[in-house]
């Protein structure tokens, strides 16, 4: 899983390092595939992704072409469902019931359940081996604070992986981020890296 929305709030240093090490055959779970050269689009450009689970690929012509050529398997998931499936994965739930997608192509192969007279799709939880996330500020315990729309999927993904690696714009001493401002508790972050400093 890689956080970010159209590249905003994506951990670019971690993405670039994946590209440098040529870590391929990936199943990538991300909101979108941004644009070529932007955010997780760099993993697509480098041909490292075998399977993509995302809500939107319309801004990346490379992703669409690879999919139409049969070189990239894509599972399109409604954005709210994607967020909830990831949340379920991290929160110990088997899945969630959502009205989104009932009666559409998204419902194919899924169970539809009626609860109190309304129809819902059973959408199963998503988990990952690794989550790469991005934050504005971290302390040395890994407590994370986010910024504006760069938060997006990052706090959800932080809980849904075996190993969570966070990249922070700045890292400050423990105690500098007030407990009320911490969005992702440091105990959930296994590895912390800073953004690369300009030389």
Q: Which residues of 171-184 are buried (b: 16+ CB within 10 A; e: fewer)?
A: beeeeebeeeebeb
12 binds another protein (CB under 8 A): no
9 binds another protein (CB under 8 A): yes
User: Toward another protein, which CB reaches closer, 132 or 175?
Assistant: 132
Residues between 146 and 185 that touch another protein (CB under 8 A): 146-156, 183
Distance CA 113, CA 74 (A): 26
One-character DSSP codes across 6-24: TTBT--HHHHHHHHHTT--
27 binds another protein (CB under 8 A): no
Q: Which of 55, 122, 127, 172 binds another protein (CB under 8 A)?
A: 55
32 binds another protein (CB under 8 A): yes
User: Toward another protein, which CB reaches closer, 104 or 124?
Assistant: 104
CB of 156 to another protein, least distance (A): 6
User: Toward another protein, which CB reaches closer, 9 or 11?
Assistant: 9
CB of 176 to another protein, least distance (A): 19
CA dihedral 87, 92, 93, 95 (to 10 degrees): 50
Q: Which of 20, 25, 105, 173 binds another protein (CB under 8 A)?
A: 105
Query: Taking Cα atoms as reference points, which of 50, 51, 72 lies closest to residue 61?
Result: 72
Instruction: Name the one range near another protein by CB under 8 A: 43-51, 66-74, 124-132, 188-196.
Output: 66-74
Distance CA 109, CA 36 (A): 32
Query: In three state form, how does the secondary structure of 89-139 look?
Result: HHCCCCEEEECCCCCCHHHCCCCEEEECCEEEEEEECCCEEEEEEEEEEEE
Contact residues toward another protein (CB under 8 A) are 5-9, 31-32, 34-35, 54-59, 64, 67-68, 74, 76, 78-84, 86-87, 98-106, 136, 146-156, 183
């Amino acid at each position: 899983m890689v956080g970010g929305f159209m590249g905003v709030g994506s951990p670019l240093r971690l993405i670039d390092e994946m590209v440098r090490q040529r870590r391929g055959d990936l199943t990538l779970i991300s909101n979108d595939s941004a644009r070529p050269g932007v955010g997780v689009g760099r993993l697509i450009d480098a041909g490292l992704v075998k399977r993509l689970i995302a809500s939107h690929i319309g801004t990346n012509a490379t992703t669409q072409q690879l999919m139409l050529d049969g070189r990239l398997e894509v599972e399109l998931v409604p954005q709210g469902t994607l967020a909830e499936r990831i949340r379920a994965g991290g929160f110990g739930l088997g899945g969630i019931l959502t009205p989104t997608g009932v009666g559409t192509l998204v419902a194919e192969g899924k169970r539809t359940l009626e609860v109190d007279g309304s129809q819902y799709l059973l959408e199963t939880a998503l988990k990952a081996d690794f989550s790469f996330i991005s934050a504005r500020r971290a302390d040395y315990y890994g407590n994370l604070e986010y910024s504006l729309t760069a938060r997006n999927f990052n706090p959800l993904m932080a809980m849904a992986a075996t190993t969570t690696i966070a990249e922070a714009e700045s890292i400050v001493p423990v105690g500098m981020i007030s407990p009320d401002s911490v969005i992702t508790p440091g105990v959930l972050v296994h590895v912390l890296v800073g953004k690369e400093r300009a030389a």
